[in-house]
Structure 1
Amino acid sequence: MRRKIPSTAALVAFESAARHQSFTKAAEELALTQSAVCRQIAALEAFLGVELFRRTRRGVRLTEEGLSYGRRIAAQLDAVERDTLAVMGQQGSTSLELAVVPTFATQWLLPRLKDFQRLHPEVTVNLTNRTRPFLFADTEFDAALYFGDADWPGTAADFLMRENPVPVCSPELIAPQYTLNAREIAALPLLQQTTRPYAWRQWFGSLGLQIEGDMRGPRYELFSMLAQAAMHGMGVALIPPLLIQRELAEGRLIVPLQHAYLSDKAYYLIVPERKAESAALRAFRDWLLEQAQAYRREHGLE
């Protein structure tokens, strides 16, 4: 069946004209004549049966339909360009597309990834942030580094490590003290992590405490946001040490009470069943599991 898709040239001309709100500037950008841009857009309007621009004495303005269509077309053209550049950049190599939870990927995976590249120079690993589950069938991802449980239909999950969060804050927040007990911590603003809403309740519970208001406080989706808020004295955050090693080493964050608890959820490598036979993915999986096992052993997380 023939697809109902207008010409790419017309879409490119329209996207440029919509972005600039000018046929003249679009023509300059695309190295075309203004009349050529006008013809492309007129052909697109005829194809759609919709007026995309309103012509006035002062120039052109997008109609409501043109504004809506322009936003969607811009996103689609960006995606086509990214995919094209990715194919051009492979040049015979194999690439892996990984969805990753951002702070874990930045602080733990990336410092180690050079070792994988040394062992497998033929494999390019691309990382994209995803903090929540998704359907692999709707994406181009080969695997995901995910925090949660292993119950992800149609996939195989490999355990990497559990989290061991500790309370951290700016030294100025509690100066001149350097340590606090759990109830003193509970009296401070508790910074919350969006994807771990019960973290403080679990941490206090591991000390045998029930604290009223343990789920109150500003919420942040990323640990990097939590760390920044804590460093700016906005409160106390629960963060796994592996994600803030530099901040702790430099004294920008301190641990007022050395008590951690092992979370009931964990980091996993999630691989869809349809990708299980990929040689590049198997090599990455084997390397990643070795790295995670070494880290667990070194930090007593076995």
Structure 2
Amino acid sequence: MLHAFEAAARTQSFTLAAHELSLTQSAVSRQIRALEEMLGAPLFHREKQKVYLTLAGNAYAREIRVALARISNATLGFRGNPLGGSLNLAVLPLFGARWLMPRLPAFLAQYPDITVNLTTRLAPFDFGTDAVDAAVHFGLREWPGAGLDLLMRERTVALCSPALKAEWKFSTSADLIAAPLLHLVSRPDAWERWFAAQNIAPGEIHGMLLDQLSLSIEAARAGLGVALVPDFLAVAELAQGHLVEAATFAYEGAESYYLAWPETHGGYPPLAAFRAWIGQEKDL
């Protein structure tokens, strides 16, 4: 019944839902009617050859879609690793690529029966709707209904290409005020905070706006401006000389990196294993 309802809600058609599920249109209609009788309320308005969701049906469809996605993910995880378990982990893209991914083989070698499934997310996520067991969170230690393990603090440094530093002759942090500055959508006031921590009043700040930290790093490498970057995420560029510090000041804000998980998942064995492992890894 639920699969028939979800397909009909998504397609707004009993006929299309029947085709998708390899059923007859009447079979889909009967299943949805039975679901409505069980719930005690209509899910669809029916007008001649058309159907569309009621307000209650629309809300129910959103909940059902999330539940079916969780069931599907659980099934795929079990099929992929029937003797162990799976860990669905949401990570910030660059943190996942540069910090977690190089370390993950060590975890999988220690726990070969656990399958780790990764998804990236820039926007905030909700454990109530997102089918993940845990997530890497950057921000304050505030997450109602979630457990949090501190992973690390963050030191943000101003980086640019060697050519740009030579062209602008940066010497002090104040020299950056007139330079082209690169801004992140997710951290719109980062430069204001960086200057304020040094008691510098930069006035109105302009510059290129980017939606991902990886793009900001690449823009800095290309000489398009100065980027504020967590130092541990630019180790390779600094070591290879593709980026240099435009100024020597490193900013430490109130936000940190945390491993977050729903409190209901605290006893889940794959998560417990990952928490123990990453707790040791962050101190290396």
* 2:234 aligns with one of 244, 249, 270: 244
Any residues of structure 2 matched to 1:229-240 within 5 Å, and which? Answer: 229-240=219-230
Any residues of structure 2 matched to 1:181-192 within 5 Å, and which? Answer: 181=171, 182-192=173-183
* 1:194 aligns with one of 185, 209, 220: 185
**CA distance in 1 between partners of 2:232 and 2:201 (Å):** 27
- TM-superposed deviation, 1:234: 1.5
Cα gap change, 1:237/1:97 in structure 2, threshold over 3 Å: closer, same or farther?
same
Gaps of 5+ in 1: 1-75, 295-302
1:271 corresponds to 2:266: no
* 1:286 aligns with one of 257, 276, 279: 276
* 3-state SS of paired residue (1:160): strand
1:158 corresponds to 2:136: no
Percentage of identical aligned residues: 37
**Aligned equivalent of 2:61:** none
TM-score relative to the length of structure 2: 0.72
1:107 corresponds to 2:103: no
- TM-superposed deviation, 1:84: 5.0
Q: Contact between 1:166 and 1:255, CA under 8 Å: does it hold in 2?
A: no
* 1:137 aligns with one of 111, 118, 128: 128
- TM-superposed deviation, 1:101: 0.9
**Aligned equivalent of 1:204:** 195
Q: Contact between 1:99 and 1:141, CA under 8 Å: does it hold in 2?
A: yes
Q: Contact between 2:77 and 2:85, CA under 8 Å: does it hold in 1?
A: no
Cα gap change, 1:81/1:271 in structure 2, threshold over 3 Å: closer, same or farther?
closer
Cα gap change, 1:167/1:262 in structure 2, threshold over 3 Å: closer, same or farther?
closer
- TM-superposed deviation, 1:175: 5.8
* 2:248 aligns with one of 222, 240, 259: 259
Cα gap change, 1:143/1:120 in structure 2, threshold over 3 Å: closer, same or farther?
same
- TM-superposed deviation, 1:133: 2.6
* 3-state SS of paired residue (1:261): strand
Letter in 1 for 2:238: L
- TM-superposed deviation, 1:78: 9.5
**CA distance in 1 between partners of 2:181 and 2:169 (Å):** 16
- TM-superposed deviation, 1:77: 10
- 1:120-178: CA deviations, max 9, x gaps? 11212211112233221212211110100121110111111111111111223x26459
Cα gap change, 1:117/1:260 in structure 2, threshold over 3 Å: closer, same or farther?
farther
1:220 corresponds to 2:229: no
- 1:194-216: CA deviations, max 9, x gaps? 222221112112222010123x3
RMSD: 4.3
Cα gap change, 1:178/1:256 in structure 2, threshold over 3 Å: closer, same or farther?
farther
Cα gap change, 1:278/1:82 in structure 2, threshold over 3 Å: closer, same or farther?
closer
Letter in 2 for 1:185: L
**CA distance in 1 between partners of 2:148 and 2:275 (Å):** 11
Letter in 2 for 1:112: R
* 1:96 aligns with one of 82, 87, 101: 87
* 3-state SS of paired residue (2:128): helix
Cα gap change, 1:275/1:122 in structure 2, threshold over 3 Å: closer, same or farther?
same
**CA distance in 2 between partners of 1:175 and 1:273 (Å):** 48
**CA distance in 1 between partners of 2:71 and 2:261 (Å):** 25
Q: Contact between 2:69 and 2:131, CA under 8 Å: does it hold in 1?
A: no
Q: Contact between 1:161 and 1:268, CA under 8 Å: does it hold in 2?
A: yes
TM-score relative to the length of structure 1: 0.68
